[in-house]
Amino acid sequence: MFKVNPADKISGEIRVPGDKSISHRSLILSSIAEGESKIEGLLEAEDCLSTMGIMRDLGVEITKEQKGKYTVQGKGLNGLEEAGNVLDCGNSGTSMRLLAGLLASQDFYSVLTGDHSLRKRPMQRIIGPLSEMGAKIWSRRDGLAPLSIKGQQLEGMQYELPVASAQLKSSILLAALKTEAETVIIEPAVSRDHTERMLKGAGIDLEILEDRIILKQAEKRSLKPFEIKVPGDISSAAFFIAAGLLAAEGELLIKNVGINQTRSGFLEVVEAMNGKIELLNKRDQGGEPTADILVKPSNLEGTEVSGEVIPRLIDEIPIISVLAVFAEGKTVIKDAEELRVKETDRIKAVVNEFRRLGIEIGENEDGMEIKGPQQVEGGIEVESYHDHRIAMSLAVMALNSKEGIAINGSEIIATSFPNFKELLAEVIG
């Protein structure tokens, strides 16, 4: 149990750990590059450690030099080896979906599984298109993991994504690397583009247009090894940005945060809510736009969060709903049905735990409605639903409650943000 007490002041200067999406991709792409890559600032959280463990199971030598610093001996697109055992993705949807794509074109047999949450998440969305490319993938009923994959020579294809999912698009791109023909992926809306940036950086011929990504025809593709400094994770920074905005006093500087536009919808929402944030020292790091973010206490206003921005802030919706509780006026979150198939049904989890805290909140199939400001008494226990983002959102709620809140199942925070509790203690001072 994690008891978080109310706090008026949030201040100091912190760094959040490395970006989770970029860390997964750094490990996967360096493993299939031709030679030695170096990664700095890798997120050493459980999800990325799952990906690292699997790449090692597939015969890749990954050496830890110091905290967050790794050397990977890439084996090329044809150098991975069949693992003798089941590959465990833990709680990580990104690991399972990206690696299923990669393994679908490898010349061996693989089985991917995960924890009880991951084994309930939809995998048909990758099995469908990968099968169209010629992949042989078996699942439990309704496309649930474990997945068993008999690697095949695949074909290129043109595919229109039914959901704006970066995991799905990345899965297809990884599967297509060993094909000769062109592959075209049409996106209904922009989602995080780290895979595309990193593939291009590694020398892959990829054209990125407004609504589609084209992996150009190639006789034989290979990835150049690379050196990358992973920027801080904006999805982790979001909890501290929210804490700083909701505080009565103090000033918080969060250094070195990735602000790639395909990920930074949260910052746009904060601005629309009248939040006082400044982006300082904007620069490029590892092919990704990065900045320091200065956060000041703010009088927030409600807003509507819907449409194309949703995939660009999908993981930040639970913390946006916390901001909405304390903002003046109504906040409406729409078009976010994807939240129902994350680590838990995040709409249900937010609605249930907010109501338990006495907060009035409306539930819709694709989102939520919250009219603020509301007072939160606290003094009770709430549940994480085995979901790191729910646990951290409730911790920020607790800071703004009268009596504090105890969060059950908070160990799950280690999925994405192992030092969250320490950093929280630091900014409370």
Ligand X SMILES: O=C(O)C1=C[C@@H](OP(=O)(O)O)[C@@H](O)[C@H](O)C1
Residues that bind ligand X (CB under 6 A): 21, 93-94, 165-168, 170, 192, 314-315, 338
CB of 6 to ligand PEP, least distance (A): 26
Residue number with the smallest Cβ distance to ligand PEP: 93
CB of 223 to ligand PEP, least distance (A): 22
Binding to ligand PEP (CB under 6 A): which residues in 117-176?
Answer: none
Question: Contact between 93 and ligand PEP (CB under 6 A)?
Answer: yes
Question: Contact between 88 and ligand PEP (CB under 6 A)?
Answer: no
In the bound state with ligand PEP, the residue whose beta carbon lies nearer, of 21 and 179, is 21
Burial 289-315 (b: 16+ CB within 10 A, else e): bbbbbbbbbbebebbebeeebbbbbbb
In the bound state with ligand PEP, the residue whose beta carbon lies nearer, of 184 and 336, is 336
Among 94, 105, 110, 321, binds ligand PEP (CB under 6 A): 94
In the bound state with ligand PEP, the residue whose beta carbon lies nearer, of 191 and 416, is 416
Known catalytic residue at 315: yes
In the bound state with ligand PEP, the residue whose beta carbon lies nearer, of 303 and 393, is 393
Which residue(s) pair with 284 in the sheet? 289
Among 115, 233, 292, 343, binds ligand PEP (CB under 6 A): 343
Which of ligand X, ligand PEP, none does residue 129 bind (CB under 5 to 8 Å by kind)?
none
Q: Burial level of 270, CB count in 10 A (0-12/13-18/19+)?
A: buried
CB of 43 to ligand PEP, least distance (A): 11
CB of 315 to ligand PEP, least distance (A): 4
CB of 96 to ligand X, least distance (A): 11
User: Which member of 315, 335, 345, 387 is catalytic?
Assistant: 315
Provide CB contacts within 8 A for 422, sequence distance 6+: none
Tell me the site size for ligand PEP, rule CB under 6 A.
9
What's the CA gap between 331 and 364, in Å, rounded?
13
Pick from 347, 271, 361: which is nearest to 314 by CA?
347
Mask 31-50, x = binds ligand PEP (CB under 6 A)?
A: ----------------x---
In the bound state with ligand X, the residue whose beta carbon lies nearer, of 337 and 338, is 338
Which of ligand PEP, ligand X, none does residue 41 bind (CB under 5 to 8 Å by kind)?
none
Place of tokens 């809510």: 273
Instruction: Show binding-site residues for phosphoenolpyruvate.
Output: 20, 93, 121, 167, 346, 389
* Amino acid at site 353: E
Among 139, 258, 389, 397, binds ligand PEP (CB under 6 A): 389
Contact in structure between 407 and 416 (CB atoms under 8 Å): no
CB of 426 to ligand X, least distance (A): 25
Question: Contact between 316 and ligand PEP (CB under 6 A)?
Answer: no
Contact in structure between 106 and 70 (CB atoms under 8 Å): no
What's the CA gap between 204 and 222, in Å, rounded?
7
Instruction: Show binding-site residues for 3-phosphoshikimate.
Output: 20-21, 25, 165, 167, 315, 342
List the catalytic residues: 315
List interacting residues with ligand PEP (CB under 6 A): 47, 92-94, 315, 342-343, 389, 416
